[in-house]
Amino acid sequence: MSKGILRIVIMLVFLFTIGNYQTIYAAEQNEVDVIIGYENETGKELILEQSTNVEYAFQHISALSVTVEEENIAELQDNPNISYVRENKPFELSINNQQVTKVPLENDIQETEYWNIDLIGAEKAWLEGYTGKGIKVAIIDTGISNHSELTIVGGVSTVEYTESFQDDHGHGTHVAGVIAGKRNDTGIVGVSPDAKLYAIKALDENGEGNLSDVLEGIEWAINNGMDIINLSFGMDEIDSSLEEMVNKAYEAGILIVGASGNNGRANSVMYPAKYENVIGVSAVDGRLNIASFSSTGAEVEFSAPGYNIISTFINGSYGVASGTSQAAPHVAGMLALLKEKYPAFTHVELRKKLVEYVQDLGDNGKDSLYGHGFITYFPDDQTAPSEVSNLEIVDVNENSAQIHWEIPTEEDFEKVDIYLDDEWLDTVSIYEEPTYKLEQLEADKEYNLLLISKDRLGNESLGVREIIKTTTVLKEEPKQETKYKEEKRTTNPEEGPELNDSVVENDMDLIPFNKSSKEETLISYDTNENNSTKTKINREPSEEKLQIENNEETKEVDKPDDKKEKTEDKEKKEELIASSEESNDKEITKQDHSTLNQDVDNGPKEVEKNQEDEIGFFEKITGFFVTIFVSFFNWLSNLFG
């Protein structure tokens, strides 16, 4: 074969191949995935004839999920045996920012202390014995991952790429933990910890899905006798096939809970939550305010926690997320508790009963933000326990006080909460001694003490109030440092004032005097049978010392007035000496004020001492000179004799 002929053959083969590929590609491009409903068997046969692929034949609704050529859709829609032709629409998760963030758990937080579990009162239901035991809850989502906090009873995958219902995204696992996380004193706990979890994987690893897979998941729940279905996803457009399947599930006795959506706008509730037979749920934060992202509208029936919810996550971890996706499973879990509590109630009766387990928020009655209200479990026993009795406050001082009381006698009594100035201080349980020490108080201050008794269901009394008044701290006044010492005084009515020679030493030479004020004030006592009276007397130092002082300060010759003053001082001094002799050997006590502490009788004694000192001095001098003179005379006598 020549090269020219070979080239022609190759070219023809290439053109033939390209032509066939373009025909096939064009055919694939013209095919669409749809859900087609039929009125009768004739319509069903027509769908099968026109389809290039049958994905799923639904049992509870008259519809098929198929692939057909786009050019045949018009013919099918016009056929009277065909009910509808719907695009296999995509769904989106009802989670804020479309993600769950992995977080570590804080070891010091108990599983029941997370705000969402605490505020809805789930623990009160558990204390009454209701934990959702035996209730089947189907979660149609991204699947459920194996986790130590979860028990997965069964499930199914409706997506094409895997037959496993294991979660490869994390959203479904997070929802599952909110509903039925185990009550094991570790990690987190769900609203109905003993409910049976069923994983229906209808969304993929990106959190995306389509209408056909969701319909298939709901039908699986119907076929397997689920009690509750949770749908934490939505779409904006109404779809008759979805509404029909939801209605079939409701007719089968299944309660269906749906997330309202995260549009953050009024009148923006998404489907399927917008359908009549689905319980639409909005989200609130920890202060019970409607979350800014939550979709609201007339279709909202209840509100539940949906902000910063910590729950289970993939790979055995924990995650936090916000959204109406987290709010809906709280309602699903509460319905599981009520389903166990009221086993004879139909799904319709339970839906009405849930209205009795809410806190009415927002406008009175049902409103577009909170629906009937925020779900809250109320126990049957709502009777408060008795108050504590015989409250005693003892050992009160400036910074502490001890309190004692007697506990109520009810069998369900659990603890006493202690408040100081209306702030919670501590809790004393029934297993502890009914006593408590209040510490770190302030001196000389009144405190309002409040003791509230509580039972195991959380019912609490009004409380017993008492006022505690701490004592005042006694402070010693600082001693004033002066040149004068204090004198003690005694007021024995029988013996009169006593003078004591053991008075604190006082150096008279250190006491300043001047011409204008030469007096020192002392205290003497005139005693009688009942009391003693104080009389001021004046005393001055010896005449010679006074003269020295005056000469040093003024260096002036005494004037007549000065002499008169000295005469008066001398008379007072003699009077003082006389008084001192009458009260000889008596004791002087110290005064409380810091004026003068010189002994009363030191005045005359000082004068006498000074006089004796002068005499002794002159005698010594005289004797000294006499001795020298005699010695000198004897020396001369010996020299010339």
Q: Helix, strand or coil for residue 64?
A: strand
Q: Choosing from 65, 83, 94, 141, which is the catalytic residue?
A: 141
Q: Choosing from 241, 325, 461, 524, which is the catalytic residue?
A: 325
Which two three-digit tokens encode residue 594?
Answer: 């810091």
Helices (H), 237-382: 240-251, 324-341, 347-353
Beta bridge partners of 451: 418, 464
Q: Are 406 and 390 in contact (CB under 8 A)?
A: yes
Q: Which of 187, 179, 178, 184 is nearest to 103 (CA)?
A: 187
Q: Are 449 and 414 in contact (CB under 8 A)?
A: no
Distance CA 122, CA 57 (A): 41
Q: Choosing from 51, 145, 168, 171, which is the catalytic residue?
A: 171
Distance CA 157, CA 166 (A): 8
Unique residue bearing structure tokens 């319909």 = 215
For residue 347, indicate whether it is catalytic.
no
Helices (H), 239-323: 240-251
Instruction: Check residue 357 and report its DSSP letter.
Output: S
Distance CA 378, CA 458 (A): 10
Distance CA 475, CA 203 (A): 76
Q: Which is it for strands 318-321 and 401-406: parallel, antiparallel or unpaired?
A: unpaired
For residue 404, indicate whether it is catalytic.
no
Backbone angle region of 84, left / alpha / beta, with phi > 0 → left and psi within -120 to 50 → alpha: beta
CB burial of residue 255 (10 Å; 0-12, 13-18, 19+): buried
Beta bridge partners of 537: 522
Q: Which is it for strands 318-321 and 309-312: parallel, antiparallel or unpaired?
A: antiparallel
Sign of the four-CA dihedral 233, 239, 244, 247: positive
Q: Tell me which amino acid residue 417 is.
A: D
Q: Which of 25, 82, 27 is nearest to 49 (CA)?
A: 82
Distance CA 137, CA 339 (A): 11
501 Cβ partners below 8 Å, 6+ apart? 585, 599
Distance CA 604, CA 576 (A): 7
Beta bridge partners of 68: 32, 51
What 529-538 contacts at long range (C-beta under 8 Å, 24+ apart), as own/partner pairs, is 529/493, 530/493, 531/491, 531/493, 532/491, 532/493, 532/496, 532/497, 537/572, 537/576, 537/579, 538/569, 538/572
Distance CA 298, CA 602 (A): 105
For residue 141, indicate whether it is catalytic.
yes
560 Cβ partners below 8 Å, 6+ apart? none
Catalytic amino acids?
141, 171, 325
